[in-house]
A and B are shown apart, each in its own frame.
Chain A
Amino acid sequence: MMMTVAESLAPATATSGAGVTPRRRTVVWLGLVPFAVYVVLFLAIPAVLAAGSGFFDESGAFTLANLAAFANPQILAAFWASIWVAALTAIVGAVLGAAVCFALMGTRPEGFLRSAVDSASSVLAQFGGVMLAFAFIATIGTQGLLTRWLVSMGFTQNLFSHFNNGGPLLYQVPGLVIPYLYFQVPLMILTFLPAMQGLKTTWGEANAILGGTRFTYWTRIAMPILAPAFFGSLILLFANSFSSYATAAALIDQGGIIPLTIRQQLTSETVVGVSNVAGVLALGMVVIMVVLMTAYSALQRRASRWQR
């Protein structure tokens, strides 16, 4: 769809450039150089280095030996933990977020409620990180508000303070689920609300005229139309949780999920430089992200059909 727009604009630029000599044309091209150089230096090169460094050993020779990391039970366990935390928080976050989107239907898009929900969602979804970790230390950490409250109620050995015989819940991998939901639900609101906004009132009226009930409206019209957008957002949430680092890093000092394992690999080396096992893990993450994003853009294309 975007291509046709671009093509229809092409003649317009052709006319504006009619008087431009070939030499002027090259000068205009030069305008793209600074940004291109920046992107190559700070995006392309780091990305290639990150994905490629796993295939080289300390001396710089090509090797596949680092791939053995994928057979390491600890690393496999970390991948598995990353995946289940991402899946659980994505599903719960998507359902709760969709419920909030539903509740926001019919409110004025320019109204104060929507602006406030939008900004709060952006803050939590995109800039929370370390600060979200602190919020939960103050809530369900050893001295947290809720933990203390449970203790004062007589539950000295409660869920938050003693989880699975391993100390406070918050400092273990399953404990990440709670803070993660605080950026997953807002992200769902940000990504799914535009899709719900695309539901036309005329479809509801058509349904009513044809004798449909609100139940048939949801099962036969709204849900099938929203399905691609919903599953697309679900994938985005999974990817978001899977790649998130700051919150976990501020809570857990060891490994446990893949981003934390990469930290262990990068910091355990005495010399700061290209860490090769970290490179292999980074490659593993990129492969999973590429699969997720391909699925996301396919679903997004289907969803956008109903949003104009």
Chain B
Amino acid sequence: MSALRFGAEPGRVTRWVILGSVGIVFMVPIVAMLEFTLRVGQPAKGVQTYGFAHYLALFSPLNESTYDVLFQGIVNSLTICVITVAIVLVLLLPTMILVELKFPHLRRVLEFVCIIPITIPSIVLVVGFVPVYSIVARIFGSSPWTLAFAVGVIVLPYAYRPIAANLASVDVVILSEASRSLGAGWLSVLGRVILPNLRRGIFASCFITIAVVLGEYTIASFLSRNTFQTALVLLQHTDPYVAVIFAVVALVFAFFLLLLIGRLGSTRRDRTSS
């Protein structure tokens, strides 16, 4: 970088002072979590001993009943993930493609509907979900997977954006007309032309959906369903160490999931520029 700078770019020193100090401050809680999980017993004479006791305890059959709620919660959350992803793929995605192809004047309406859940706080929606779920429970029972219907709504804004961005960058109308005029049926237009072009948007929105579902707490706690997050809160009272271990793992997992999305996105840009 030269000494002559015209635009908004900061100097090398300024940049690293800002990024470095913010980065360090943001690392403190993560480091504190790791330190917390490694503690063994109370400090004796001001000296804390460290070890992997809490990690090993996870695999001990003695504690099975303690962690049962947590493992059940994780299984429930994964089930909800699968169904929520299915809702995105079966309900949202076909509707978005259909609107793009046949009802472009409805695009704004669809966007508005999908953004609404950001405007309404989950805690407010919960007030309305309680009566709705008393009916849902009568039809489907009160098993945890039914939560996916409510979570699917919370996920809409996050799932909508990557697919919409992908749709905007690919001219599906012209692509489908081209393949139709070459004699393709609607099924092969969809399966062999449109979906392959939307692959990245679809992947990104599925990953974000998974991350949101794994982090969802508000709705699950009010509808009294046991999920990963509600189990963590319960466990925090009996075994805070294990709760923190799982919190770190979940944060790191979500970080890599999203890093993967970012990398997927940038490989696309590289390919179009070359």
Give the interface of A toward B (CB within 8 A).
2-3, 6-7, 9-10, 12-13, 15-17, 28, 31-32, 34-35, 38-39, 41-43, 45-51, 53, 96, 99-100, 102-107, 109-110, 115-116, 118-120, 122-124, 126-132, 134-139, 143-146, 148, 152, 182, 185, 196, 199-201, 203-205, 207-208, 214, 217, 222, 239, 242-246, 249-250, 259, 262-263, 266, 272-275, 278-279, 282, 285-286, 289-290, 293
What chain A residues lie within 8 Å of B46 (beta carbons)? 152
A131 touching B102 by the CB < 8 A rule?
A: no
Given the known A-B contacts A99-B22, A110-B269, A290-B119, are A123 and B251 also in contact in the complex, defined by CB atoms under 8 Å? yes
Tell me what chain A mostly uses at the interface: helix, strand, loop, or mixed: helix
Dominant secondary structure at the B interface: helix
Contacts of B130 in A (CB 8 A): 266, 272-275
Can you pick out 7 interface pairs between chain A and chain B where the beta carbons lie within 8 Å of each other?
A12-B173, A13-B104, A31-B98, A115-B263, A124-B26, A200-B7, A279-B127
In the bound assembly, the distance between CA atoms of A209 and B101 in angstroms comes to: 48
A131:B250 contact, CB within 8 angstroms = yes
CB-based contact B173/A46 at 8 Å: no
Residue of B nearest to A262 (CB): B123
As a 0/1 sequence over residues 96 to 113 of chain B, the CB contacts with chain A under 8 angstroms (1 = contact) are 001101111111100001
Given A99-B18, A99-B22: A6 touches B105 (CB 8 Å cut-off) = yes
Across the interface, B131 reaches (CB within 8 A) one of A7, A263, A274, A285, namely A274
Whether B124 lies near A50 (C-beta < 8 A) is yes
Establish whether residues B108 and A129, one from each chain, have CB atoms under 8 Å apart when the complex forms. no
Given contacts A138-B244, A272-B130, contact A106 B9 (CB under 8 A): yes
Instruction: Judge whether A16 and B6 touch: CB under 8 Å.
Output: no
Nearest neighbor of B245 in chain A, beta-carbon distance:
A134
Q: Chain A residues near B214: list those with CB within 8 A.
A: 127
Is B198 on the interface with A (CB-CB < 8 A)?
no
B contact residues around A130 at 8 Å (CB): 215, 217, 229, 232-233, 247
Which 7 residue pairs are nearest across A and B when measured between Cβ atoms?
A: A46-B128, A243-B121, A204-B7, A127-B215, A204-B6, A50-B128, A106-B9
Beyond A35-B95, A126-B211, A144-B36, list 7 extra A-B contacts (CB 8 Å). A10-B104, A32-B99, A106-B10, A119-B258, A123-B255, A259-B123, A263-B222
